[in-house]
Amino acid sequence: MVDVLDVRGVTKTFDVSRPLLVRILANDRRKYLRAVDDVSFAIPAGTTMALVGESGCGKSTLARLAVGLHAPSAGEIRFEGQALSAARAQPAMRRRINMIFQDPYASLNPRWRVDDIVAEPIRTFRLLGKGAAVAERVSFLLGQVGLTAADGQKYPHQFSGGQRQRISIARALSSAPQFLVCDEPTSALDVSVQAQILNLMKDLQARLGLTYLLISHNLAVVRHMADRLGVMYLGRIVEQGPAEAIFATPRHPYTRLLLEAVPSLDATGRSRSGIGGDVPSPIAPPPGCTFHPRCPLADQRCRVERPEPVATANGVLVACHAVEEGRGG
């Protein structure tokens, strides 16, 4: 199976220093935030790769890297075998990548009617002629996401949150993309509406052969959608592999604690082990394994030596000294 997206050793660093004059007066140095740290993964065509982790772990930055909104500080991202940097100069390649944003209302122009919002990529990439052909395509796209042609005459504020997300999906599909980055696509929606949007996304994937990179902190959503799973902590992927294998047998201590926190009727009355402590600052991360200050299995090696991903028997890559040494089960 061909990989649609291939991420190789990608790092993204942001300069978060104070202004030069302030630094001079305070005798302060430049400060850098490493939002993504040496991340590698691949997404085969027609599948869904999900990234999960606590807020601030770098998921959304990686999403923006995957669509070319940010350029990597190091490493390479390839789309269908070509460097993603080439997409900015090649409209035919660029239109095959699109994004569904977290907040459907903030991502839609409130002054535009829905048909203009959905038609914008069609006109930008000059996919069709003017007039009737564009209107027909917009009507078809609205129908694909469960709306009607008459809805195209309305404004975003006239719709519910779930309907607005359907409009966002229709706009994302209007350029006939191959690859969609979905950044928390249901987190701003009511629970009752989330399932409808997720089922719509799965149906569209099956019918159109779409490939997804799904960013989420909701493991229930990920379990429903993902073929492959990557668990991020402080800019790094600490465990990745087939989603079913990770949910069945999580190996990294952080993954175990995340899954332990998921509400379950089977766990009624049983004590839970929460993730203690706070996420360290990405400006000054701990040495060695960055999870060691919060890890119940940490030892001296974890405090000084950075773990590298190691393949396990079920095809999962785990970056953990405890797993490599067989400590903690």
Residue 171 lies in a domain: no
Residue 116 lies in a domain: no
Residues 150-161, mean pLDDT to the nearest whole number = 94
Residues 232-250, mean pLDDT to the nearest whole number = 95
* CB 258 within 8 Å of CB 272: no
Residue type, 233: Y
The pTM of the full predicted model, rounded to 2 decimals, is 0.90
Q: Domain with 307 in it: what CATH number?
A: 3.40.50.300
Say yes or no to pLDDT of 229 above 90: yes
Residues 43-63, mean pLDDT to the nearest whole number = 93
More confident residue, 201 or 131: 201
Strand 310-311 and strand 236-242: pairing?
A: unpaired
Residues 8-34, mean pLDDT to the nearest whole number = 91
Say yes or no to pLDDT of 327 above 90: no
pLDDT at 212: 97
State the pLDDT confidence band at 102, using cuts at 50, 70 and 90.
Answer: confident
User: Domain range holding 201?
Assistant: 3-96+177-264+271-325
pLDDT at 92: 78
* CB 295 within 8 Å of CB 320: no
State the pLDDT confidence band at 47, using cuts at 50, 70 and 90.
Answer: very high
Residue 106 lies in a domain: no
Say yes or no to pLDDT of 188 above 90: no
* CB 165 within 8 Å of CB 197: yes
More confident residue, 275 or 216: 216
pLDDT at 149: 92
State the pLDDT confidence band at 241, using cuts at 50, 70 and 90.
Answer: very high
Residue 53 lies in a domain: yes
pLDDT at 329: 58
Q: Which of 193, 195, 113, 116 is nearest to 161 (CA)?
A: 193
Euclidean distance between CA atoms 172 and 185, whole angstroms: 12
Residue type, 193: V
**What is the separation of C-alpha 119 from the centre of its chain, rounded to a whole number of angstroms?**
25
Sign of the CA dihedral with 193 first, then 197, 202, and 204 last: positive
**What's the structural domain count of the chain?**
1
Tokens encoding 199:
């089922």
pLDDT at 274: 61
Residues 104-128, mean pLDDT to the nearest whole number = 91
Which of the 8 DSSP states describes residue 321?
A: H
Tell me which long-range contacts 34-38 makes (C-beta under 8 A, separation of at least 24).
34/235, 34/282, 34/285, 35/61, 35/235, 35/282, 36/10, 36/11, 36/12, 36/61, 36/62, 36/65, 36/72, 36/235, 37/11, 37/234, 37/235, 37/236, 38/9, 38/10, 38/11, 38/74, 38/75, 38/236
Alpha helices in the chain (DSSP H): 20-26, 59-66, 91-94, 114-124, 132-144, 161-173, 191-208, 219-225, 243-248, 253-260, 300-304, 321-325
What is the residue-averaged pLDDT of the chain? 89
pLDDT at 186: 87
pLDDT at 318: 96
Residue 250 lies in a domain: yes
pLDDT at 166: 94
* CB 175 within 8 Å of CB 207: no
More confident residue, 74 or 130: 74
Q: Convert the pLDDT of each residue in 64-90 to its tens digit.
A: 999 988 999 999 999 988 888 766 657
Say yes or no to pLDDT of 316 above 70: yes
Residue 83 lies in a domain: yes
Residue 185 lies in a domain: yes
Tracing tokens 């660093």 back to the chain, one arrives at 13
Q: Count of CB atoms within 10 A of residue 24's CB?
A: 10
Q: Which of 240, 247, 248, 239 is nearest to 221 (CA)?
A: 247
Residue 127 lies in a domain: no
pLDDT at 68: 87
